[in-house]
Amino acid sequence: MIPTTLFYCCDSDLRTDIMRDIQGDVSHMPENELLNAIKRLAVKEESTLVHRLKMNRMVQSPATGIRTYQAALCQYKATCKEPGCVHVCDYSEEIIKDNLIRGIADPEILSDLLGDSKTDRTLDETVSFLV
Protein backbone atom coordinates (compact mmCIF):
# COMPACT_ATOMS: atom_id res chain seq x y z
CA MET A 1 0.00 0.00 0.00
CA ILE A 2 2.87 2.42 0.79
CA PRO A 3 4.47 2.17 -2.69
CA THR A 4 1.11 2.84 -4.35
CA THR A 5 0.45 5.86 -2.12
CA LEU A 6 3.96 7.15 -2.72
CA PHE A 7 3.52 6.69 -6.48
CA TYR A 8 0.29 8.71 -6.48
CA CYS A 9 1.96 11.51 -4.52
CA CYS A 10 4.14 12.14 -7.58
CA ASP A 11 3.14 14.52 -10.30
CA SER A 12 1.55 12.91 -13.39
CA ASP A 13 4.61 13.45 -15.63
CA LEU A 14 6.86 11.82 -13.05
CA ARG A 15 4.42 8.90 -12.69
CA THR A 16 4.62 8.38 -16.46
CA ASP A 17 8.43 8.46 -16.32
CA ILE A 18 8.43 5.97 -13.44
CA MET A 19 6.19 3.58 -15.34
CA ARG A 20 8.47 3.79 -18.39
CA ASP A 21 11.53 3.28 -16.22
CA ILE A 22 10.46 0.34 -14.08
CA GLN A 23 8.16 -1.37 -16.61
CA GLY A 24 6.39 -3.23 -13.86
CA ASP A 25 3.79 -3.05 -11.14
CA VAL A 26 4.53 -0.28 -8.66
CA SER A 27 2.34 -1.83 -5.98
CA HIS A 28 4.67 -4.83 -5.66
CA MET A 29 7.90 -2.80 -5.53
CA PRO A 30 9.76 -2.39 -2.26
CA GLU A 31 9.43 1.16 -0.97
CA ASN A 32 13.18 1.85 -1.08
CA GLU A 33 13.41 0.78 -4.75
CA LEU A 34 10.54 3.08 -5.68
CA LEU A 35 12.15 5.95 -3.76
CA ASN A 36 15.42 5.34 -5.61
CA ALA A 37 13.59 5.36 -8.96
CA ILE A 38 11.82 8.61 -8.03
CA LYS A 39 15.07 10.22 -6.95
CA ARG A 40 16.90 9.09 -10.09
CA LEU A 41 14.16 10.56 -12.30
CA ALA A 42 13.16 13.66 -10.36
CA VAL A 43 16.30 15.01 -8.73
CA LYS A 44 18.86 16.71 -10.90
CA GLU A 45 22.15 16.97 -9.09
CA GLU A 46 24.22 20.06 -9.73
CA SER A 47 27.87 19.68 -10.47
CA THR A 48 30.33 20.72 -7.80
CA LEU A 49 31.81 23.00 -10.44
CA VAL A 50 28.52 24.91 -10.66
CA HIS A 51 28.67 25.64 -6.94
CA ARG A 52 32.34 26.64 -7.17
CA LEU A 53 31.66 29.04 -10.04
CA LYS A 54 28.78 30.63 -8.12
CA MET A 55 30.95 31.11 -5.06
CA ASN A 56 33.87 32.48 -7.07
CA ARG A 57 31.60 35.09 -8.64
CA MET A 58 30.17 36.27 -5.34
CA VAL A 59 30.87 39.85 -4.38
CA GLN A 60 29.57 41.56 -1.28
CA SER A 61 26.95 44.11 -2.18
CA PRO A 62 26.27 47.11 0.06
CA ALA A 63 24.30 46.25 3.21
CA THR A 64 24.90 42.52 2.71
CA GLY A 65 26.27 40.67 5.70
CA ILE A 66 29.59 38.92 5.40
CA ARG A 67 28.04 35.62 6.48
CA THR A 68 26.07 35.23 3.23
CA TYR A 69 28.98 33.31 1.73
CA GLN A 70 27.85 29.68 1.54
CA ALA A 71 30.30 27.08 0.30
CA ALA A 72 29.37 23.75 1.81
CA LEU A 73 28.45 22.33 -1.60
CA CYS A 74 31.77 23.24 -3.24
CA GLN A 75 33.62 20.20 -1.86
CA TYR A 76 37.13 21.62 -1.84
CA LYS A 77 38.79 18.34 -0.94
CA ALA A 78 41.62 16.33 -2.43
CA THR A 79 42.53 12.70 -1.85
CA CYS A 80 46.20 11.82 -1.49
CA LYS A 81 47.63 10.36 -4.72
CA GLU A 82 50.27 8.20 -3.00
CA PRO A 83 49.62 4.46 -3.38
CA GLY A 84 47.87 3.07 -0.31
CA CYS A 85 47.18 6.50 1.19
CA VAL A 86 43.53 7.39 1.79
CA HIS A 87 44.09 10.76 3.49
CA VAL A 88 41.65 13.46 2.39
CA CYS A 89 42.84 17.05 2.62
CA ASP A 90 40.01 19.55 3.06
CA TYR A 91 41.13 22.98 1.88
CA SER A 92 37.66 24.54 1.89
CA GLU A 93 38.41 27.14 4.51
CA GLU A 94 41.42 28.56 2.64
CA ILE A 95 39.49 28.86 -0.63
CA ILE A 96 36.44 30.32 1.12
CA LYS A 97 38.61 32.81 3.01
CA ASP A 98 40.35 33.90 -0.22
CA ASN A 99 37.01 34.36 -2.00
CA LEU A 100 35.58 36.18 0.99
CA ILE A 101 38.47 38.66 1.01
CA ARG A 102 38.37 39.08 -2.78
CA GLY A 103 34.66 39.90 -2.60
CA ILE A 104 34.82 42.60 0.09
CA ALA A 105 33.10 45.68 -1.34
CA ASP A 106 34.17 48.24 1.26
CA PRO A 107 37.70 49.53 0.46
CA GLU A 108 38.25 50.69 4.05
CA ILE A 109 37.50 47.25 5.50
CA LEU A 110 39.71 45.61 2.87
CA SER A 111 42.52 48.07 3.64
CA ASP A 112 42.22 47.38 7.38
CA LEU A 113 42.41 43.63 6.79
CA LEU A 114 45.31 43.77 4.36
CA GLY A 115 47.21 46.26 6.50
CA ASP A 116 46.83 44.24 9.71
CA SER A 117 50.01 42.70 11.13
CA LYS A 118 48.38 39.28 11.58
CA THR A 119 48.60 37.62 8.16
CA ASP A 120 47.79 34.00 8.97
CA ARG A 121 44.17 34.27 10.11
CA THR A 122 41.83 31.31 9.91
CA LEU A 123 38.47 31.72 8.19
CA ASP A 124 36.70 32.22 11.53
CA GLU A 125 39.29 34.79 12.63
CA THR A 126 38.92 36.63 9.32
CA VAL A 127 35.12 36.73 9.64
CA SER A 128 35.42 37.94 13.25
CA PHE A 129 37.83 40.67 12.15
CA LEU A 130 35.38 41.78 9.43
CA VAL A 131 32.24 41.98 11.58
Same domain, 60 and 120: yes
Domain with 103 in it: 48-130
Kindly state whether residues 103 and 79 are assigned to the same domain: yes
Could you tell me the pLDDT band of residue 85, with boundaries at 50, 70 and 90?
Answer: very high
What gap in Å lies between CA 86 and CA 23, rounded to an integer?
Answer: 41
Q: Is the pLDDT higher at 70 or at 68?
A: 70
Distant-in-sequence, close-in-space partners of 65: CB < 8 Å, separation ≥ 6: 131
State residue 87's pLDDT score. 93
Residues 14 and 54 placed together within one structural domain of the fold: no
The total number of structural domains that make up the chain: 2
Same domain for 84 and 123, yes or no, is yes
User: Is the whole-model pTM more than 0.85?
Assistant: no
**Confidence at 60, pLDDT banded by 50, 70, 90:** low
What is the pLDDT of the chain when averaged over all its residues?
82
Whether the predicted pLDDT of 9 surpasses 70:
yes
